[in-house]
């Protein structure tokens, strides 16, 4: 800022008013930038079936499904084979970490996620007996080792008694319908934020004394904001569930926050390229004109 003598009242009122207005416009521009970045990320994420499915799977949690599977198996086997509930649960606890048991659990989780993502009114059926049927030989072997001779056929018969589970998706409870409504709302947010960004950017350029530099300043602001959000979401996802397994909700939040971070990178890269291009243009404009050599001077004189 140019210093003024004590007797000088400073810049005219119009200049001071313009600077104050420019400060307010730049603040509003920053707010519009934040809304645009968050809205763009949210819109892409709400339409990303993979990200939503991974989040839902993490929230459902394999531990919860394993516990429910153990309850189903313990109840069915205890009734069909007349084994005690404690013996059955002890045998099943040894099988939970086996690849076959984990595969069955993952299959049930995927089916539950598919039900969540189904459209309104659609129904998804999980045939628990068929999913758990491959575990029959393992359960029979585990019970035999514990002194209880139970054939795999008996266990298969007990598993077949577990009927399929139908998961209906009502209009109000459809996860897909909710995601569609969120996507529509965020689309409006993105359009409004982008419009405000253009309008406020134009006003800021009009109020600036050096308009090209103001365009570079605005592009730099957008680039830095995008980079900040990319880092914030990446670190935030880690903070929610640093080592994994903190809780199903935290794990799901971590998956969701880390999803589609490339949106910030793309928007930041675009704004950064614009800022670098303007910087290059300004430097080219400031380059000194090379002196004329002797031959050129003679041509000019003639």
Q: Which residues, 6+ apart, have CB-to-CB distance to 255 below 8 Å?
A: 51, 54, 55, 58, 237
Residue that finishes a domain, picked among 120, 146, 168 = 168
pTM of the shown model = 0.70
In the chain, the number of structural domains is 2
The verdict on 135 and 212 lying in the same domain is no
Same domain, 214 and 235: yes
Is the domain of 32 the same as that of 98? no
Distance between CA 54 and CA 61 in Å, rounded? Answer: 11
What would the mean pLDDT of 76-91 be, rounded to a whole number?
66
Q: Give residue 35's pLDDT band: very low, low, confident or very high (50, 70, 90).
A: very high
pLDDT of residue 84: 66
Q: Do 73 and 219 fall within a single domain?
A: no
CA 202 – CA 217 distance, rounded (Å) = 12
- Sequence-distant contacts of 257-261: CB under 8 A, at least 24 apart: 257/233, 258/233, 258/234, 259/45, 259/48, 259/51, 259/54, 259/55, 260/41, 260/44, 260/45, 260/48, 260/51, 261/41, 261/230, 261/233, 261/234
Half-sphere exposure of 3 (CA within 13 A, CB side): 2
In whole angstroms, what is the distance from residue 184 CA to residue 47 CA?
10
Give the range with max mean pLDDT: 38-47, 69-78, 241-250, 277-286.
38-47
The answer to whether 179 touches 46, Cβ cutoff 8 Å, is yes
By residue range, what is the domain housing residue 108? 58-168
293 is a domain residue: no
- The verdict on 186 and 255 lying in the same domain is yes
In angstroms, the CA 84 to CA 126 distance is 27
* Position 150 in a domain: yes
Highest-pLDDT range among 11-25, 40-54, 243-257: 40-54
149/296: higher pLDDT: 149
Q: Is residue 5 part of a domain?
A: no
Band of pLDDT at residue 189, cut at 50, 70 and 90: very high
Residue 152 forms part of a structural domain: yes
Q: How far apart are CA 62 and CA 66, in angstroms?
A: 6
Same domain, 271 and 124: no
pLDDT level of residue 85 (50, 70, 90 thresholds):
low
pLDDT band at 222 (very low <50, low <70, confident <90, very high): very high
Q: Is the pLDDT of residue 36 over 80?
A: yes
Phi, psi dihedral angles at 165 (to 5 degrees) = -110, 125
Same-domain status, 281 and 262? yes
* Same domain, yes or no: 18 and 76: no
Question: 146: pLDDT confidence band, cut at 50, 70 and 90?
Answer: low
pLDDT band of 299, cuts 50, 70, 90: very low
Q: Are 182 and 39 within one domain?
A: yes
Range 24-32, long-range pairs (CB < 8 A, 24+ positions): 25/200, 25/203, 25/204, 25/207, 26/204, 26/221, 28/196, 28/200, 29/197, 29/200, 29/201, 29/204, 29/218, 29/221, 30/221, 30/225, 32/193, 32/196, 32/197, 32/200
pLDDT at residue 195, as a whole number: 95
State residue 291's pLDDT score: 53
User: Is 97 among the domain residues?
Assistant: yes
> Are 179 and 42 in a shared domain?
yes
Share of the chain above pLDDT 90, in %: 20
pLDDT digits (tens, 9 = 90+) for 20-33: 898 999 999 999 99
Q: Is pLDDT at 34 greater than 70 in this prediction?
A: yes
Averaged confidence pLDDT in the chain: 76
Is residue 260 predicted with pLDDT exceeding 50? yes
Domain check: are 135 and 201 in the same one? no
Question: CA 251, CA 290: separation in Å to the nearest integer?
Answer: 63
Instruction: Judge if 99 and 163 occupy the same domain.
Output: yes
> Which is higher by pLDDT, 276 or 96?
276
């Amino acid at each position: 800022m140019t210093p003024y003598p004590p007797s000088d009242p400073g810049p005219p009122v119009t200049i001071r008013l313009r600077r104050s207005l420019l400060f307010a416009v730049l603040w509003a521009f920053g707010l519009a930038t934040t809304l645009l970045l968050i809205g763009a990320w949210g819109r892409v994420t709400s339409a990303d079936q993979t990200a939503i499915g991974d989040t839902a799977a993490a929230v459902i949690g394999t531990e919860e499904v394993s516990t429910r599977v153990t309850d189903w198996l313990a109840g069915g086997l205890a009734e069909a084979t007349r084994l005690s509930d404690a013996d059955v649960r002890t045998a099943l606890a040894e099988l939970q970490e086996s690849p076959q048991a984990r595969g069955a659990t993952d299959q049930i989780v995927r089916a539950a996620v598919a039900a969540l993502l189904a459209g309104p009114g659609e129904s998804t059926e999980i045939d628990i007996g068929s999913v758990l049927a491959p575990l029959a030989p393992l359960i029979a072997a585990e019970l035999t080792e514990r002194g209880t001779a139970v054939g795999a056929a008996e266990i298969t018969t007990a598993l077949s008694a577990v009927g399929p589970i139908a998961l209906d998706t009502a209009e109000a409870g459809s996860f897909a319908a909710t995601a569609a409504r969120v996507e529509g709302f965020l689309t409006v947010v993105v359009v409004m934020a982008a419009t405000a960004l253009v309008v406020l950017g134009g006003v800021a350029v009009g109020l600036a004394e050096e308009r090209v530099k103001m365009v570079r300043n605005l592009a730099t602001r957008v680039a830095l904001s995008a980079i900040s959000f990319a880092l914030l979401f990446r670190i935030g996802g880690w903070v929610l569930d640093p080592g994994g397994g903190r809780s199903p909700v935290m794990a799901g939040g971590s998956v969701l926050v880390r999803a589609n971070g490339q949106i910030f990178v793309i928007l930041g890269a675009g704004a950064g390229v614009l800022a670098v291009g303007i910087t290059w243009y300004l430097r080219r404009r400031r380059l000194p004109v090379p002196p004329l050599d002797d031959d050129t001077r003679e041509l000019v004189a003639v």
